C-alpha cells in the first residue's frame, strides 16, 4: 500500500469555548475555562483530519502518543484555533507539531504521533 502524504501538510480547526468543553464539564477541574482534555481532543482532531484525504478508503490513523503543554486558560465565549503540521513520516508513524491559540495568544502546544491502520483489521483485533 503506497501512501503519499506531503511533508509539512497543514491542518486547522477552531472551536468556541462554551459550557460543554470546560474543565468543570469534563471533570478535569472546577473552573469554567477551556478544558485540557478538550484542547487535546482538538489537537488530535486537527492532526488526523489534515491527512485523512491522503489515505485510501478504510485506512485511518490512531493517536499513539501526545506530549502537551496547556500554557494559558481560555474563558467561555472565546474561540480556540488549532494548527497542526506534519513534520515527519516514518513508515506508518506520522509525527506532528501542534499549536493552539485564542484571541490573546498561544494557549497550548504539542508533539503528537499518529499510526496508520486498516480500520476493519484494527477493530477485528479488539474482538
**pLDDT tens digit string along 21-67?**
999 999 999 999 999 999 999 999 999 999 999 999 999 999 999 99
C-alpha gyration radius of the chain? 16
* CA quadruple 32, 37, 43, 49: dihedral sign: negative
- 1 pLDDT higher than 70: no
Domains along the chain with CATH numbers: 10-126 (3.10.129.10)
Report which of 70, 65, 42, 74 is spatially closest to residue 112, judged by C-alpha positions. 65
b/e per residue, 28-39, with b = 16+ CB within 10 A?
Answer: eeeebbbbbbbb
How sure is the predictor about 7, in pLDDT bands with cuts at 50, 70 and 90? confident
- 19 pLDDT higher than 70: yes
- 2 pLDDT higher than 80: no
* CA quadruple 91, 117, 21, 50: dihedral sign: positive
Amino acid at each position: 500500500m503506497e501512501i503519499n502524504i506531503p511533508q509539512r501538510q497543514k491542518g486547522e480547526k477552531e472551536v468556541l469555548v462554551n459550557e460543554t468543553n470546560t474543565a468543570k464539564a469534563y471533570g478535569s477541574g472546577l473552573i469554567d475555562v477551556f478544558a485540557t482534555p478538550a484542547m487535546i481532543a482538538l489537537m488530535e482532531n486537527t492532526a488526523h483530519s489534515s491527512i485523512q484525504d491522503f489515505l485510501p478508503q478504510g485506512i485511518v490513523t490512531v493517536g499513539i502518543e501526545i506530549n502537551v503543554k496547556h500554557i494559558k486558560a481560555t474563558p467561555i465565549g472565546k474561540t480556540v484555533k488549532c494548527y497542526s503540521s506534519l513534520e515527519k513520516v516514518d513508515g506508518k508513524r506520522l509525527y506532528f507539531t501542534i499549536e493552539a491559540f485564542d484571541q490573546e495568544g498561544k494557549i497550548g502546544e504539542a508533539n503528537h504521533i499518529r499510526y496508520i491502520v486498516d480500520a476493519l483489521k484494527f477493530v477485528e483485533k479488539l474482538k
